[in-house]
Amino acid sequence: MSRVDFYILPTDSDNARLQFACRIADKAMRSGRQTFINAPSERESRQLDKLLWTFSQGSFVPHRIIGPDETEPAREPVVIGRGQEPGGGHWNVMINLATEVPEFFSRYERVVELVDADQGRRKHGRERYRFYRDRGCELNTHRM
Helices (H), 1-118: 14-30, 42-54
* pLDDT at site 91: 82
Helices (H), 57-141: 119-134
pLDDT in tens, 85-135: 777 667 899 999 999 999 999 999 999 999 999 999 999 999 999 999 999
* pLDDT at site 141: 96
* pLDDT at site 89: 66
* pLDDT at site 95: 98
Q: Over range 46-60, report the average pLDDT.
A: 86
Residues 129 and 135 sit within 8 Å (Cβ to Cβ): no
- Structural domains for the chain: 3-143 (3.40.50.10110)
Q: Which residue has the higher pLDDT, 75 or 17?
A: 17
pTM confidence score: 0.93
Measured in whole angstroms, how far is the alpha carbon of residue 2 from the centre of its chain? 14
pLDDT(59) > 80: no
pLDDT in tens, 20-30: 999 999 999 99
Read off φ and ψ for residue 82, nearest 5 degrees. -135, 85
Q: What is the dihedral of CA 33, 7, 123, 51, to 10 degrees?
A: -60
**What is the average pLDDT value for the chain, to the nearest integer?**
90
**Cα distances (Å, whole numbers) of residue 71 to 67, 74, 85, 87:** 9, 9, 10, 7
Q: Over range 59-67, report the average pLDDT.
A: 86
Between CA 144 and CA 132 the distance in angstroms is 21
Share of the chain above pLDDT 90, in %: 69
3-state SS, residue 141 = strand
pLDDT(71) > 80: no
Amino acid letter, residue 17 = R
pLDDT(1) > 80: no
Burial category of 104 from C-beta neighbours within 10 Å (exposed 0-12, middle 13-18, buried 19 and up):
middle
